[in-house]
Structure 1
Amino acid sequence: MELSIIIVNYNTCRLTCDAIQSVLLSVTAFAYEVIIVDNHSTDSSVETITKLFPEVCLIKNEENVGFAKANNQAIAVSSGKYILLLNSDTIIKPDTLQVMVSYMNEHPKVGASGCKVMLPDGSLDKACKRGFPTPSASFYYLTGLSKVFPNKARFNMYQLTHLDPDQSYQVDCLVGAFMVVRRETIKQVGLLDEEFFMYGEDVDWCYRIKQSGWEIIYYPYTSIIHYKGASSKRKPYKIVYEFHRAMYLFHKKHYQERYPLVVNLLVYGGIVLKLLLAMMQNARKRLR
């Protein structure tokens, strides 16, 4: 088994079925398996997937355990040389799997790779090639300086907008919507950190992969479509909270001891302020 494709589903029945169908239409010269983890959906996901795709492995959870833990469940029962984390709200091209697996086979020092990820409007999902959210990178991003100077590397250490999206690069991190990871790498660095419920687990994983000496490559010679945020629209307050909680967890885990107290206080204060503003914005939208 060359590749294990893992899709976590939560109330996105139609999108998940479309994602599975795009996988099954792939043209490959190798064997692969598809593992679906359902996080206790309340729609018809389990019944529909079971009926339409009896060939896939379906894990049914009795509660929503989050993105990281659900993927870990699938990794534990998978058998592929490579693991592909694939979002339920994505569509891959017929050549995507072949292109990415061939690249990984030809580059044994690469621990993880990702292709170009496009949004439905044809624009690039900038999360598919990123730098780590250091305090300075986060500051330039959140204050808008990265947009003012989009071609300056100093101000774009997070989204890397100064890099040509049609060229391949070593990057800090990829997006969990599409990430091919070598099993040998996982054995060395460990599984996804289940402290992250959703958001941040992909950045944390990439950080540990790079710290262990593996290369992480953005490889844009095939692409997917990402209907971003489909499963997160169900519980906006929960999602907003988890997004900001992930920022806190990542900084605490990897940067807190590297920076002085004043920087850490500014980071944590900024996260709280951003969370409050996001909550207020959500409340205004509901009132409207």
Structure 2
Amino acid sequence: MEVSFILVNYNTNALLLKAIGAIYQFTDAALSFEVLVVDNASKESPAALLVQQFPQVIFIQSPANKGFGAANNLAIQKAKGNYFFFLNPDAFLLSDAASFFVNKMKDPAYSYMAFCSGELLNQAQLPNHCFGNFPTFFSAISACGLKVFYQNYFRKHLALGVANYDPLPKKVDYVSGAAFMVRAELVKLYGGFDEAFFLYFEETEWAYRLQQKGYYSMIFPEVKIIHIEGGSTEAGTNTVFNQRTFQLYAESRQLFYKKTRGAFFAAIMKPLDMLQDLLRSIYHKEGNLFFTKLAILWKA
């Protein structure tokens, strides 16, 4: 088995079926692959729909929602592929991405490439966040206002989420968790998702962990994938403030700091993150919403 597609569903049955349909539509039948779906204790399980429309899919029902990483790890335990292709239910293939990525993984020139992804597009097929840079003290300081003096450099080399406008393949710190491939052998050697992260920063920590072992991540813009950002979260949108989502993000960010750089780094980054949100709240005229965010950030 070459590729194991892995999708985690949480109350997104319609999107899930569309994502699976795109997999079977675009993936070359000559490529041996399987599709595994983990349902993260949704209100309505997609089991019956999958049996009806995609009976070949391997379905795993999680009795409780223990987070995105934990659900993916359930599928990893059953996956048989040499490569794992993680795909959000709100991410839709536009071509045979799996075969393309497998060929790159097998190329000796990319023998230390752990993760690869393509160029993510939004619903209007404009560039969407597809990779990011590991957070640093300099990136946090820059985000507090200094970036106005070097906006292009900040966007490419410091921002946590970056949309791609470059046609050439390139190494990046980490690829978006919405759609990426990883070598199964590296999962066996160094583990999969860290289940301490419920949601957010789990792919960032994984990429950082493997980078410490000498591996790297890449994006190949030739591959285009639609990603309806926010479609697979409970809120279903990133345009309205959702307190639970913001809390999960803040907690995961602090956890990433602690796990990768230690408690001292996490402590000095917290006030910078607070300042960023203050400036953002002022810019967007959010009013008292900042104090709600401040309380969440302080507790994270």
TM-score class normalised by the smaller sequence:
0.7 to 0.9
Q: Residue 151 of structure 1: CA displacement?
A: 2.2
Post-superposition Cα deviations, 1:54-103, rounded to whole Å, max 9, x if no partner, equal: 11001011111110000000011101000111001011023212111111
Report 1:210-221 matches (<5 A): 210-221=211-222
Q: Within 1, Cα distance between the matches of 2:55 and 2:266? A: 50
Give the structure 1 partner of residue 201 of structure 2: 200
Preserved CA contact (<8 Å) 2:155 2:162: no
The one of 111, 118, 122 equivalent to 1:119 is 122
Post-superposition Cα deviations, 1:194-229, rounded to whole Å, max 9, x if no partner, equal: 000010000000001111111211111111000111
Report 1:271-282 matches (<5 A): 271=273, 280=289
Name whichever of 243-252 and 227-236 sits farther off: 227-236
Q: Within 2, Cα distance between the matches of 1:172 and 1:86? A: 19
Preserved CA contact (<8 Å) 1:244 1:271: no
- Aligned residue for 2:152, secondary structure, equals coil
Structure 2 vs 1, CA of residues 153 and 91 (structure 1 numbering), >3 Å: closer, same or farther?
same
- Aligned residue for 2:151, secondary structure, equals coil
Preserved CA contact (<8 Å) 1:150 1:161: no
CA RMSD of aligned residues (A): 2.7
| 2:129 pairs with 1:132 | no
The one of 245, 248, 254 equivalent to 2:254 is 248
The one of 211, 214, 239 equivalent to 2:245 is 239
Give the structure 2 partner of residue 168 of structure 1: 169
Post-superposition Cα deviations, 1:12-32, rounded to whole Å, max 9, x if no partner, equal: 011010000000112423100
Q: Residue 255 of structure 1: CA displacement?
A: 1.3
Q: Which runs of 5+ in 2 are unaligned?
A: 237-241, 294-300
TM-score between both structures, scaled by the size of structure 1: 0.87
Structure 2 vs 1, CA of residues 275 and 161 (structure 1 numbering), >3 Å: closer, same or farther?
closer
Preserved CA contact (<8 Å) 1:146 1:156: no
Q: Which runs of 5+ in 1 are unaligned?
A: none
- Aligned residue for 1:22, secondary structure, equals helix
- Aligned residue for 2:174, secondary structure, equals coil
The code of the aligned residue for 2:15 comes to: L
Q: Within 1, Cα distance between the matches of 2:133 and 2:190? A: 19
Give the structure 2 partner of residue 17 of structure 1: 17
Preserved CA contact (<8 Å) 2:128 2:163: no
Identity of aligned residues (%): 29
TM-score between both structures, scaled by the size of structure 2: 0.84
Preserved CA contact (<8 Å) 2:173 2:208: yes
Structure 2 vs 1, CA of residues 53 and 116 (structure 1 numbering), >3 Å: closer, same or farther?
same
